[in-house]
């Protein structure tokens, strides 16, 4: 496909891309600095952590911070592996449930006809204005009334619905041609078959982006461990890492905090690298061609 003599999304490098690369490189450099700092900070020895003026890069990298972190975790009553298991289980459950609920709701709100559809979309858009702190008390009361305190469901249910993910995915579903869906209905397809065989395959970029948004919300969440769960064996790795670093709020504790920050950051980075192509398609097109 060509436009004014230039290819759109060429498979190979072309000279016409140089001006785009020249504009993007400074932005990439600035945006990448925090990531570089997180990695450097985690491997700094004690004298570099407290050097003045502060050092951005690490000059004598060491694993001492990680060694102290894992050594401190072994002295705890509950092993770190238990917290890691809880985080993986909760994150996987929330991401799977949220993507299923989001894609099905987006399909219904975009392509199906029923009473109250407009009102439901308005409710979702209104929910975008509320931060988690604003709904913390209602969430706690709901979890308490349902008797979900000190259960895995206390971690999972409050985080399943993500309004921004629904809004994003619905915009993609809106771009699916109605004629394609009508043809499927004429051939005898049910709503479920249309959803599975047409909608989901055509909105994969939006699903990938929504997965990253949900993962980031759940993986770094400490609210449920702080307010809904009293059993230490049900708390998450994020909560444990933060409490461990704060409990050792000494000079040595700062190195442990830096190592813990890197450990919690890496899964987000890995997930983004895996899904980056779909994310770029989402940002570039904001819909389906």
pLDDT for residue 150 is more than 60: yes
In order of their start, the domains of the chain are: 15-62 (no CATH), 77-285 (1.10.3720.10)
* Nearest CA among 227, 220, 209, 219 for reference residue 135: 227
pLDDT of residue 93: 95
What average pLDDT is seen over the chain? 83
What sign does the CA torsion over 181, 185, 189, 193 have? positive
Bridge partners of residue 104, in order along the sequence:
none
133 exposed, middle or buried (CB, 10 Å; 0-12, 13-18, 19+)?
Answer: exposed
pLDDT of residue 10: 60
Tens digits of residue pLDDT in 158-213: 889 888 899 889 988 988 888 888 898 888 888 899 999 989 988 888 898 899 98
* Rounded Cα gap, residues 148 and 74, in angstroms: 30
pTM over 0.85: no
* Rounded Cα gap, residues 221 and 87, in angstroms: 10
Highest mean pLDDT: which range of 99-103, 238-242, 277-281 = 99-103
pLDDT of residue 133: 79
* Rounded Cα gap, residues 11 and 182, in angstroms: 35
Residue 2, φ and ψ in degrees, nearest 5:
-120, 155
* Nearest CA among 207, 215, 209 for reference residue 90: 215
Tens digits of residue pLDDT in 5-64: 455 556 666 677 778 778 888 888 888 888 888 888 888 888 888 888 888 888 888 888
């Amino acid at each position: 496909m060509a436009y004014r003599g230039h290819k759109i999304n060429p498979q190979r490098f072309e000279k016409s891309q140089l001006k785009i690369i020249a504009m993007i490189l400074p932005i990439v450099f600035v945006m990448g600095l925090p990531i570089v700092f997180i990695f450097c900070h985690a491997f700094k020895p004690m004298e570099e952590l407290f050097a003045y003026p502060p050092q951005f890069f690490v000059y004598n990298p060491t694993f001492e911070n990680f060694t102290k972190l894992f050594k401190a975790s072994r002295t705890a009553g509950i092993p770190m592996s238990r917290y890691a298991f809880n985080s993986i289980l909760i994150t996987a459950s929330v991401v799977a449930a949220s993507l299923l609920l989001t894609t099905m709701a987006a399909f219904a709100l975009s392509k199906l006809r029923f009473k109250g559809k407009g009102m439901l979309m308005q409710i979702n858009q209104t929910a975008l204005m509320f931060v988690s702190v604003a709904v913390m008390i209602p969430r706690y009361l709901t979890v308490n009334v349902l008797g979900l305190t000190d259960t895995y469901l206390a971690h999972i249910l409050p985080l399943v619905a993500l309004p921004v993910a629904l809004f994003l995915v619905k915009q993609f579903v809106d771009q699916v041609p109605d004629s394609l869906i009508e043809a499927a209905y004429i051939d005898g397809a049910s709503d479920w078959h249309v959803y599975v065989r047409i909608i989901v395959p055509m909105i994969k970029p939006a699903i990938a982006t929504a997965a990253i948004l949900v993962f980031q919300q759940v993986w770094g969440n400490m609210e449920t461990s702080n307010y809904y769960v009293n059993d230490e064996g049900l708390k998450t790795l994020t909560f444990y890492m933060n409490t461990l670093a704060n409990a050792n709020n000494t000079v040595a504790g700062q190195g442990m905090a830096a190592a813990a920050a890197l450990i919690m950051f890496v899964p987000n980075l890995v997930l983004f690298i895996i899904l980056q192509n779909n994310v770029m398609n989402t940002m570039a097109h904001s819909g389906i061609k």
